[in-house]
Amino acid sequence: MSAIASSMLDKWAVQGGTHTEFEIDASKKFQTLSSDVISCVAFGSSYEEGKRVFQLQEEQIKLALLAMRTFYFPGFRFVPTKKNRRRHSLNQEIRSSLRKLIETNGRKCEDSKNLLGLMLSASKTDNGFKMGIEEIIDECKTFYFAGKETTANLLTWATLLSALHKEWQDKARDEVHQVCGKNKHPNAENLNATAFVNMVLKETLRLYPPALSLSRTATKDVKLGKPDIPAGMQLNLPLVDIHHDVDIWGADAEEFDPSRFADDKSYHLGAYFPFGIGPAICVGQNIAMVEAKLVIAMVLQRFVIDVSPSYVHAPMMVMTLQPQYGAQVLVRKI
Ligand code: HEM
């Protein structure tokens, strides 16, 4: 991870050339970085190899959003309209790209402990947990999707908020320099001691949670307080609204204040749940937080960040919460 982050930051420095300060779109940079990290850490491949899958999934998201905004007639998805045919062919192409990727990288992953290696070992066991290739492809699809957008958005909003709140950026950088040094890559031990970075990330996840809401379907009749919920009813948990609720967070709920998470302060499970809640809670939350802490710490080690005059604040929901016109920031080498 640190090698991938370091290579991205080297490219920033080259992009700046002789300029002391230059503009980057943090959103684009972090999309590529998190794609690379998930490809490498989970599947032992690189962004270039997984690129086609990411591109196809982006097109899938656009088509899924269109469908979600349209009135749905049961069975309509089987009608061979132009969009439905494209949806089908995208799914086929993603599956065949992943199948090829598994064939190419599978052998070298077999002895490694990455996700693909573990799934391939599970495909060879004779116990009740044997996984078939189609199941492995399904899991890969989920991990590619879940691992890329969410972490990229956390990094993007954390960078923007640090640029807007220079006092927190300075505190976090001083701490990183003190704990990890100015030139060395942070490691697992010293990253744990970067309390301010952690607080900034947690507050970012409160104000700009990548997943805005969760949905659940009642499997049996239940009574939740006063309302009766019949089996089969779909419930929407408006995570973002709860994270901004003044009754929970106080009158300054809209303000960015990482000190809410000082001294590892935790909140009620139903008040703060950026990674979901219950048995379906995000399986990638630890890797996502390690990645985010590492990348933010490495950015702060090398650059000072300001919001660019060209940045337009327009958070937009595209499956995850993204900046509609990009996240333009000015970076200055230290
Ligand atoms: C900041 C980053 C991330 C956020 C905010 C996030 C958030 C979430 C949320 C809200 C859910 C739904 C949980 C629920 O329904 O209760 C979820 C599920 C999931 N996430 Fe993440 N996620 C992040 C990063 C990742 C990463 C890096 C991976 C992969 C390495 C990942 C893999 C998954 C998977 C596989 C699920 C489905 C779990 C299941 O249905 O059993 N996530 N995530």
Strands 328-333 and 320-323: unpaired
Pick from 156-170, 187-201, 266-280 the range whose average pLDDT is largest. Answer: 156-170
**Residue 109 binned pLDDT confidence (cut-offs 50, 70, 90):** low
For ligand 1, atom 7: residue with the closest CA:
275
Can you tell me which atom of ligand 1 is nearest the CA of 148?
Answer: 27
Examine the pLDDT at 219 and tell me if it is beyond 70: yes
**Residue 322 binned pLDDT confidence (cut-offs 50, 70, 90):** very high
| C-alpha–C-alpha distance, residues 245 and 36, integer Å | 35
282 is in an annotated binding site: yes
> In 10 A of CB 123, how many CB atoms?
16
Q: What is the ipTM of this complex?
A: 0.97
For ligand 1, atom 37: residue with the closest CA:
282
**Residue 110 binned pLDDT confidence (cut-offs 50, 70, 90):** low
| Cα-to-centroid distance, 216 and ligand 1 (Å) | 15
Can you tell me which atom of ligand 1 is nearest the CA of 34?
Answer: 27
pLDDT score of 114? 79
**Residue 141 binned pLDDT confidence (cut-offs 50, 70, 90):** confident
Per-position DSSP letters for 141-181, written without gaps between them: HHHHHHHHHHHHHHHHHHHHHHHH-HHHHHHHHHHHHHHH-
| Cα-to-centroid distance, 76 and ligand 1 (Å) | 29
Computed over every residue of the chain, the mean pLDDT equals 90
Question: Which of 114, 143, 275 best tests ligand 1's pocket when mutated (most atoms within 8 Å of CB)?
Answer: 275
For ligand 1, atom 17: residue with the closest CA:
282
CB 109 within 8 A of CB 116: yes
Give the pLDDT mean for 252-276.
95
Can you tell me which atom of ligand 1 is nearest the CA of 209?
Answer: 5
| Cα-to-centroid distance, 102 and ligand 1 (Å) | 22
| C-alpha–C-alpha distance, residues 320 and 328, integer Å | 19
The pLDDT tens digits for 144-156 are 888 888 999 999 9
Token pair of 311, please?
């940045």
The pLDDT tens digits for 5-40 are 999 999 998 887 888 899 999 999 999 999 889 888
pLDDT score of 111? 66
Examine the pLDDT at 48 and tell me if it is beyond 80: no
- The binding-site residues of ligand 1, defined as CB within 6 angstroms of any ligand atom, are 38, 42, 142-143, 146-147, 150-151, 154, 210-211, 214, 274-278, 280-284, 287-288
pTM reported for the whole predicted model: 0.92
Can you tell me which atom of ligand 1 is nearest the CA of 210?
Answer: 5
Strands 303-307 and 234-237: unpaired
Give the pLDDT mean for 168-181.
96
| Cα-to-centroid distance, 17 and ligand 1 (Å) | 38
pLDDT score of 221? 96
Describe the chain by its helix, strand, coil percentages, rounded to 5.
Answer: 60, 10, 30
Which residues, at least 6 apart from 105, have a Cβ–Cβ distance to it below 8 Å? 43, 44, 45, 49, 116
Which residues are bridge partners to 23 per DSSP?
330
For ligand 1, atom 32: residue with the closest CA:
284
Q: Specify the higher pLDDT residue, 98 or 297.
A: 297
The pLDDT tens digits for 287-321 are 999 999 999 999 999 999 999 999 999 999 878 89
| Cα-to-centroid distance, 97 and ligand 1 (Å) | 23
| Cα-to-centroid distance, 288 and ligand 1 (Å) | 9
Q: Specify the higher pLDDT residue, 147 or 159.
A: 159
pLDDT score of 104? 78
| Cα-to-centroid distance, 64 and ligand 1 (Å) | 19
For ligand 1, atom 21: residue with the closest CA:
282
